[in-house]
Structure 1
Amino acid sequence: MKHALLLMAMVGLGACSVGPDLQTPRAALPASWGVSVPAGSTLAARLDSHWWAQLGDPQLTALVEQAAAANFDVRVAANRLEQSRLLRQVTGSQQVPGISAATGYTRERNSGVGLNDPSGQAGKAPFERWSTALDASWEVDLWGHVRRAVEAADAQVALSAAQRDGVQLSIAAETASNYIRLRGVQARLAVARKNLEIARQSSQLTQTRFDNGVTTNLDTANAAAQVASIEAVLPVLGAQQDRLINALSYLLGKPPQALSAKLIKPRSIPHPAPDVPLGLPSELAQRRPDIRQSEAELHRATAAIGVAMADFYPRISLGASLGMQAQHGADLGTWSSREWSYGPSLYLPIFQGGRLTGTLELRQRQQQQAALNYQRVVLGAWHEVDNAMHDYAAEKQHHQALQRAVAQNNIALSTARARYAEGAVDFINVLGVQRSLLATQSELVDSATEAALDRVRLYRALGGGWPVQADFPHAKSLDLAYPGR
């Protein structure tokens, strides 16, 4: 009865845990974003989990989803997550008793001048030893040493999950950005080829006028130089196109030029939907992987303080053994061959030379660092969202102004070429308008590319769209995959 009461008291004490619980610092986030959206756009209340689909390009959507499955960085991050889950399983196994079985047989002969053997024939005859036993051991977690260690392991699982989500978000954003840049380069190639055709027509016109004695070779030389300068741009843009296709191939885990046949055909630059999916500032901490990662780091550091504090207290382990031992195999299993033992053992740290105190202070400083890092990451996330939103709004205005400039330059070029054909203006006027049109058309393509890239940056700043997964289980509800091992 006394032994049972003692055991119940130990189990009751096992519900205690020393050390602080997690207290997440107050996030410095506003109640609303306080930013305006571009004309023609509206604020969406919720961020679509598949944000890349909002860019309106099925081929881009397919590439992002393929990269999420095939990219090597994503697969490495997923492997690290599985490792952390297995480590958590190993740590959690300390919460339950360990049971093992052993059996053995030996044939022995003791020294004739040493200890007597059980037969009383010291050193004169060999003897046999048969044994089998079932052993159990369990450390009573009086001060929460194991529970805090499991809590830290849970935090490590959450940290690894956030790291995996961060890699997925980065790969998705990088894939989308490279695809957008590829379509932008292809659009610039189309602009250059169209302007090359116009420049060649102008060169032919000046040559005809020169042959008729209407103009000088200065006009023909200027026209030929314009043709050559545009031709010089084409191989540079072609090389950029090849590099971007290779970059996408790498992100999808494929060899160089593996996607050339699929991507070489030009498509329009992705045009995002008008809805701007900001969501609520309070949701940012759950969406952004870096914020969840820093919170998990803080949780792990907080739990480590509890482990360090529990090391100051005594530890009690319970052990028991039930088995049989005999000199002859025929006797093994008889009632007389039985043997057993049970009892507690106590470990008490009396003098450790400052190791325990130093470890505790170190863990406390690490927790303070993790708390400061959490606040830094949250503030940085707020800045990223604000900057991304303003950049996107400004680029939309820039794009609209460039559209007007291109339209006016097209009118100016048609007028200048007609008047040059009539001899009313010099070719230098036509050349100037051609150059202005090429420049504004190229700027318009760059602006469309940058607007789409700004939208990707905004999605990334908002934390992307992978749903938060349950990678932070409570220790008591974890289902061990291999119980008893």
Structure 2
Amino acid sequence: MRVPMTPLSVRVRSLVVALSAATLGACSMIPAYERPAAPVPASFPQAAPAEASAATQQAEAIAWRDYFADARLREVIALALQNNRDLRVAALNIERARAQYGIQRADLFPTITAGGGQSAQRVPGDLNSSGESVVSRQYSANLGFAAYELDFFGRVRSLEEQALQVYLGTEEARRSAQISLVAEVANAWLRLAADRERLALARSTFETRQKSFELTQRSFDAGAVSALDLRQAETLLQTARADAARYAALVAQDENALALVVGAGVSAELLPQGLDAAIASVAVLPAGVPSEVLTRRPDVVQAEYALRAANASIGAARAAFFPSITLTATVGTASASLDGLFESGSRAWSFMPQIRIPIFEAGRLQASLDVAEIQRDITIAQYEKAIQSAFREVADALADRATLAEQLDARRKLVEATQKSFELSEARYKGGVDSYLNLLDAQRSLYAAELELISVRLSDATNRVALYKALGGGWQ
């Protein structure tokens, strides 16, 4: 059923509409915003200009579920996004900033309250002309607002704009935190795969050297080799044994680190099975990319929102130099008896406008404006530094990537060469042509080359993740 509007409610609504219109039409003291020029070159070193458009599209369009091909890695990342405490704090910070923005925005409108009350007073007879004590009562019911500021010079609106920019920046902070988390999980997963392969290599080498040592021991017992040969074989055996124990500890630590960043236990089915499969799960981005793409990175966008917030605070500081007008108004009814509260003729109202004009503040207002402007300059420097840091991250990733292919090729050929060298040394030793010491040196070189190849393969995979992160991928 539609409730008819009373003359009282019509007046209140008209007053609120008029005040809101006056506020929304207020002038703004916020300086015109201009994005600072990026203090970096237009393109990155080691970047191919012909591939720029493709790289930009990939950096912004590829979601992490599409970038990482391994289903186990994708599930681990999903677990981290659900359980990681740092990301949870970032999400809660967004909710807090949204609530704070709602509080600040509410100041643009009057706060309407309704109230009712009774007052009773007894006057003794010796204070009354009639000589008898008198009890007086008054009942009232009213609707109104208190201390509502008419924002003619945009002070409240400037503060509302500042709160809005802080809220938007907090949202970008969450996106930046997600990018970092996705990259951290991927790198932890890849390190675990690499250390598992190192452990397998160390154990395999230990078993091979164990057999070699036992053979050397029998040859020593038969007087065919010297004690030096025996001790050299034992040295290699114990080195492989120590490496196996060390890599077993690293694998356990990698699993603990992965569980920490995920925020929950990771089942064995989701752990990497081999480094080759783990590397194949990470896509390769084109090398060409313009530095303009950095302005769309969430952390850089967050810095720009902080700059906009600082710009809005200048508007609030400027508006403080001008008069402020506040209104307090109520309309309602009043009566000496409760049953007469809503009778004809009981209407009551009050209207109390106040104006405050700053005349002498001992430099306080100017100092507040100076602080706001200096803070704006500081935020500009922070924004420029955010772009420079992002530029360096991409440039470093591209610099590593420019030589990784050559490093991988060289390390693979080195392993092949040391493998052949070991086979030749073994054949020469068995033929009595070469010494046992040369055979042991060939074993050491082969083992070291295989370990270095694992390290370079891991660097290749983590470089892909680093470039994906540096270009702003992973927030979708």
**TM-score normalized with structure 1 length:** 0.86
Aligned position for 1:354: 363
Q: 1:305 aligns with which of 301, 304, 314?
A: 314
Once the two structures are aligned, what percentage of the paired residues are identical? 31
- Label 1:250 to 1:381 Cα distance change in 2 as closer, same or farther (>3 A): same
Letter of the aligned partner of 1:252 in structure 2? V
Residue by residue over 1:354-397, the C-alpha shift from the partner in whole angstroms, topping out at 9 and shown as x without a partner, is: 11111001111111111122122212221221111101222332
Distance 1:449 1:12, change over 3 A: closer
**Does residue 220 in structure 1 map to residue 234 in structure 2?**
no
Counterparts of residues 459-478 of structure 1 (less than 5 Å): 459-467=468-476
Matching of residue 253 in structure 1 with residue 266 in structure 2: no
More helix by share: 2
Counterpart of 1:103 in structure 2 is 116
CA distance 1:239–1:136, change in 2 (3 Å): same
Instruction: Tell me which residue corresponds to 2:86.
Output: 73
Question: Paired residue for 2:107?
Answer: 94
* 1:268 pairs with one of 266, 275, 288: 275
Q: What displacement does 1:336 show?
A: 2.2
Structure 1 CA distance, aligned partners of 2:420 and 2:125?
Answer: 117
Contact kept? 2:190, 2:275, Cα under 8 Å: no
Alignment pair present for 1:447 and 2:460: no
Given candidates 158, 171, 190, the residue that maps to 1:180 is: 190
Please identify, of 420-429 and 208-217, the stretch whose mean Cα deviation from structure 2 is larger.
208-217
Q: 1:20-39 counterparts in 2 under 5 A?
A: 20-36=31-47
Contact 2:46–2:287 (8 Å) recurs in 1: no
Q: Which amino acid aligns with 2:436?
A: F
Secondary structure of the residue aligned to 2:112 is strand
SS of residue paired to 2:247: helix
Match of 2:216 among 193, 206, 212: 206
Match of 1:402 among 411, 426, 435: 411
> In 2, are the aligned partners of 1:317 and 1:344 still within 8 Å (CA)?
yes
Whole-angstrom distance in 1 between the partners of 2:62 and 2:355 = 54
Q: Is the 8 A contact 1:109 1:123 kept in 2?
A: no
8 A Cα contact 1:88 1:150, kept in partner: yes
Corresponding residue for residue 380 of structure 1: 389
For the residues of structure 2 that align with 1:192 and 1:282, how far apart are their CA atoms?
46
Q: Is 1:230 aligned to residue 237 of structure 2?
A: no
Cα RMSD of the aligned pairs, angstroms, is 2.7
* Distance across 1 between alignment mates of 2:130 and 2:228: 124
2:325 corresponds to which of 316, 322, 329: 316
Letter in 2 for 1:78: A
Mapped contact 1:45–1:277 kept (Cα < 8 A):
no
TM-fit CA distance, 1:55: 4.5
* Contact persistence 1:52–1:176 (CA under 8 A): no
Superposition pairs for residues 105-184 of structure 1, below 5 Å? 105-110=118-123, 124-136=133-145, 138-184=148-194
Closer, same or farther: CA 262–334 of 1 in aligned 2, 3 Å: same
Partner of 1:422: 431
1:53–1:61 Cα contact (<8 Å) kept? no
C-alpha deviations, 1:432-468, integer Å up to 9, x for none?
A: 010001100010111111222222222222223315x
Give, in whole Å, the separation in 2 of the partners of 1:153 and 1:110: 53
Q: Please name the residue that 1:194 is paired with.
A: 204
TM-score (norm 2): 0.87
SS in 2 for 1:17: coil
CA distance in 2 between counterparts of 1:219 and 1:241 reads 33
- Unaligned 5+ segments in structure 2 are 1-13
Please tell me whether the aligned partners of residues 178 and 247 of structure 1 are also in contact (alpha carbons under 8 angstroms).
yes
CA distance in 1, matches of 2:113, 2:301: 40
Partner of residue 26 from structure 2, selected from 6, 10, 15: 15
Quick one: which of 399, 411, 420 aligns to 1:411? 420
- Deviation at 1:352? 1.6
Aligned partner letter, 2:213 = S
What whole-Å deviation, never above 9, does each CA across 1:310-341 have from its counterpart, x for those lacking one?
Answer: 01111123343111111211111011221012
